[in-house]
Amino acid sequence: MTFDEIFSTVSQLAEQNRVALSSAGDTSADLHITGESGGIIGAAIKNGVPSITKGSVGSPEATVAISADDFASLLAGKLNPMLAVMTGRIKVSGNYAKLMGLIKGLKG
């Protein structure tokens, strides 16, 4: 997947799951896509309104780093997220609780 494809996918997930995201509370996170197709996607919820942007949200409460290939595998259900974190394929820093609320909201 290219960075633009990943951005489009995350944006679509946010739009499809707008109601679930609105209940996650105010939070923000940066998704760092590493490798050749790299870039940063910012995700924020403020006053119940989710927004997805190209670039950092500024001072994210959590940060996730993952390669474009691993992100594609994660979306396809071929990569176990817990195992990927434990083996370093996904790196997470910051407020895990806020991040999990955001991820749960994106899943619907």
DSSP letter assigned to residue 33: E
Residue 17 has pLDDT above 70, yes or no: yes
pLDDT at 44 over 90: yes
Per-residue model confidence (pLDDT) at position 108: 60
The rounded distance, in Å, linking the Cα atoms of 33 and 1 is 10
- Looking at the chain, the whole-number percentage of residues with pLDDT higher than 70 is 99
Q: How far apart are CA 93 and CA 6, in angstroms?
A: 20
Rounded distance between C-alpha atoms, residue 98 and residue 28, angstroms: 8
Q: Span 64-83, mean pLDDT?
A: 93
pTM: 0.90
**Closest CA relative to residue 43, chosen from 33, 55, 35, 51:** 51
Question: What is the pLDDT averaged over residues 3-10?
Answer: 94
Q: In the CATH scheme, what is the homologous superfamily, with its name and number, of domain 3-107?
A: SCP2 sterol-binding domain (3.30.1050.10)
Domain ranges of the chain: 3-107
**Is residue 2's pLDDT more than 80?**
yes
Which residue in 14, 30, 23, 16 sits closest to 91, CA to CA?
30
